């Protein structure tokens, strides 16, 4: 039995929309092999994982974080509802990886701010290591949950939930009316409700 192996060189990926459920064509010298959508990410992974990890390593300067974020990029692709149609697979991967990288930096900023706030607390009031981990995980989940909401909506929600401020106090602090505060809090509450 003669098995063909995939070429080592980067395959040419072209859009494919000719009434077929496939979104990519894998072309080689002898012809074109059509890939079903479930294999799209596998082809991208096999052909570009090493390159993407190198790209992320240059951005981060840390091989371990680069490997983690490369995996996160492909996990995000696997969780997508539809297989992508690609002309430029590396450009597509960079776009997705930039979003993953942005979330990574935001998560680091949030963790740093939390640790800075803990460092300013008196030792006898500071939470235990286990409580710190739980609080940090909750903050990260809350940040992800509120992602995409306007900044003022997030601030109003956090002022109400974390600081326990009234509508009037939130309005005064943000410089908005009580009716706007109510709209903001409703919008944030709906986001939380539908996320659960």
More confident residue, 63 or 8: 63
**11-15, 109-113, 148-152, 180-184: least confidently modelled range:** 11-15
| Beta-carbon contacts of residue 27 (< 8 Å; ≥ 6 apart) | 11, 12, 13, 14, 33
Q: Name the H helices within 120-149.
A: 129-146
Please check the confidence at residue 177 and state whether its pLDDT lies above 60: yes
Coil, strand or helix at 143 = helix
**What domains appear along the chain, each with residue ranges and CATH number?**
1-128 (no CATH), 148-196 (1.10.10)
What's the CA gap between 180 and 165, in Å, rounded? 15
96 DSSP assignment: H
In terms of C-beta density within 10 A (0-12 exposed, 13-18 middle, 19 or more buried), how is residue 137 classed?
Answer: exposed
Q: What is the pLDDT of residue 176?
A: 94
The closest of 5, 59, 64, 13 to 40, measured between CA atoms, is 13
- Please say if the pLDDT value at position 105 is more than 60: yes
* Cα–Cα distance for residue pair 80/74, rounded to 1 Å: 10
Secondary structure of 11-75 in HEC code, one letter for each residue: CEEEECCCCCCCCEEEEECCEEEEECHHHHHHHHHHHHHHHHHHHHHHHHCCHHHHHHHHHHHHH
Q: What is the pLDDT of residues 161-172, one digit of tens each?
A: 888 889 999 999
Query: What's the full length of the chain, in residues?
Result: 196
Beta carbons of 114 and 135 less than 8 angstroms apart: yes
Across the beta sheet with 24-28, the strand order is 12-15, 24-28, 31-35
pLDDT at 65: 92
Do residues 167 and 182 lie in contact, with contact meaning Cβ atoms separated by under 8 Å? yes
Distance in angstroms (rounded) separating the CA atoms of residues 41 and 24: 10
Name beta bridge partners: 14.
25
CA 57, 61, 65: angle at the middle one, nearest 5? 60
pLDDT tens readout for residues 112-146: 888 888 788 788 877 888 988 888 888 888 888 88
What pLDDT is stored for residue 184 in this prediction? 92
């Amino acid at each position: 039995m003669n098995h063909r192996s995939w070429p080592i060189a980067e395959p040419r990926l072209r859009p494919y929309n000719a009434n077929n459920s496939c979104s990519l064509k894998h072309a080689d010298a002898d012809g074109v092999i059509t890939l079903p959508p479930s294999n799209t990410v596998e082809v991208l992974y096999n052909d570009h994982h090493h390159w993407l990890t190198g790209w992320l390593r240059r951005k981060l300067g840390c091989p371990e974080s680069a490997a983690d974020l490369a995996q996160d990029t492909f996990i995000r692709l696997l969780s997508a509802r539809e297989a992508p149609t690609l002309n430029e697979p590396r450009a597509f991967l960079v776009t997705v990886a930039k979003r993953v990288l942005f979330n990574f930096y935001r998560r680091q900023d949030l963790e740093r701010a939390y640790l800075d706030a803990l460092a300013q607390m008196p030792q006898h009031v500071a939470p235990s290591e286990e409580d710190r981990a739980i609080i940090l995980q909750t903050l990260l989940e809350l940040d992800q949950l509120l992602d995409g909401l306007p900044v003022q909506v997030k601030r109003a929600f956090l002022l109400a939930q974390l600081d326990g401020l009234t509508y009037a106090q939130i309005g005064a602090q943000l410089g908005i009316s009580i009716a706007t505060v109510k709209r903001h809090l409703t919008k944030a509450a709906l986001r939380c409700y539908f996320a659960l």
